[in-house]
Amino acid sequence: MLLEGKTAVITGCLQGIGRAALEIFAENGADVFACCQREDERFTRDIANLSVTCGVSITPVYFDLLDEEAVKNGARFIQKSKKSVDILVNVAGANFDALFHMVTMEQLKRTFTINFFSQVLFTQYITRLMLKHGSGSVINISSIAALDGNPGQLSYASSKAAIIAATKTMSEELGPKGIRVNALAPGVIKTEMTDAMPDDVRSRMISRSELKRIGLPDEVAGVILYLASDLSKYVTGQVIRVDGGIG
């Protein structure tokens, strides 16, 4: 098991890429703080079963990325556990699509609060735990929209581009302290966010890929696992596309 004896913090665990990362981490022996926006009875049952099946500890942590105090309280809860955190995976995000001239300041502020400001704040708290033992891996989830642009996604693409800039800056600052920081740029992945895209937009993006199909959350989670494990212990400051060959 690639993560045996490790403790990870993963955001966005209710569904999609975050849920897939939670499952593959547990299967590979990691204890997980599973961060979600809200409580969910089915999720609570699922993680209890997963914990027993995999023989690991899975602790739910609930907070809304739009609420700065809630983000701080979630991080403090993890700090108070006194567990040594080895991995942070920032998956949670939101998308409010609109063409450039229709984008409002409220949409911009809301998108950046969820996708950038709160994630930087949360990462500040969690990496302080990593500094105590001088090692760790941070994986940020960006998007190919941040690298290529995408019509109707100015707010989303810009916030995800900010995450890439933050990743590179953090990797330079934290690398000498033993903490690696990398980002993934997924393409068209089968999630609720992608399901909400217009059919023609989704089809056009898939047609641009070399594999000619939509990606699955567990295919992204496999790359997250690689970056979290010692298999990538000399990899930092990178942005890895997981897009089926788009571009």
How do residues 90-133 score in pLDDT, each as one tens digit? 999 998 888 888 899 999 999 999 999 999 999 999 999 999 99
Q: Give residue 196's pLDDT.
A: 67
**How many angstroms separate the CA atoms of 224 and 17, rounded?**
10
62 among known catalytic residues: no
- Is residue 156 included in any domain, yes or no? yes
Residue bearing the bigger pLDDT, 41 or 206 = 41
- Is residue 165 included in any domain, yes or no? yes
| CATH number where 204 lies | 3.40.50.720
- Is residue 247 included in any domain, yes or no? no
90: left (phi over 0), alpha (psi -120 to 50) or beta: beta
Closest by CA position to 78, among listed 42, 132, 114, 152: 132
Looking at residues 219-236, what average pLDDT do you find?
A: 98
Do the beta carbons of residue 155 and residue 107 sit within 8 Å? yes
- Is residue 107 included in any domain, yes or no? yes
Q: Which domain holds residue 164?
A: 7-240
Question: Over 80: is that where the pLDDT of 73 sits?
Answer: yes
- Number of domains, the chain: 1
Share of the chain above pLDDT 90, in %: 85
Angle made by CA atoms 66, 74, 60, in degrees to the nearest 5: 110
Residue bearing the bigger pLDDT, 212 or 28 = 28
Q: What are phi and psi of 179, to 5 degrees?
A: -110, 120
Q: Give residue 144's pLDDT.
A: 95
